[in-house]
Amino acid sequence: MGSARLSWSAPTANVDGSPLTGPAGYRIHYGTDPNNLSHRIEIRDPSVVSWTVSGLTAGTWYFAVTALGADGSESEYSTITSKKIQ
C-alpha cells in the first residue's frame, strides 16, 4: 500500500471575486480515474492545508481538493493532480 501527501493554499475569494467568508473546511476527492474521483475525505478544520492519503493500491491515483463553506456550499475542484503508486 502507498500514500500521497497533498497540500494546498487556502482560498481568499469566491469564484466571482467576492471576499470569501470561510472556508469551513476542505474535501479531498480521489480515485483511479480522473473523471470519477469516487473517494472522499472531509476535513472540517480550515487551518489544515495538507493531508496524507494512505492505503492506496498500486496504480495511478488522481486527486483534487474543494473548499467547503459554512453554509454547506462546495467550491469547484482544484487542478487535478496524480501520483503513481508502485
Q: Which pLDDT belongs to residue 61?
A: 98
Q: Tens digits of per-residue pLDDT, 18-75?
A: 777 778 999 999 999 999 999 999 999 999 999 999 999 999 999 999 998 888 888 8
First and final CA of the chain: distance in angstroms?
8
Amino acid at 33: D
Determine phi and psi for 13, rounding to 5 degrees.
Answer: -145, 155
Q: Which domains does the chain have, with CATH numbers?
A: 2-85 (2.60.40.10)
Please state whether beta strands 25-31 and 59-68 pair in parallel, antiparallel, or not at all (unpaired): antiparallel
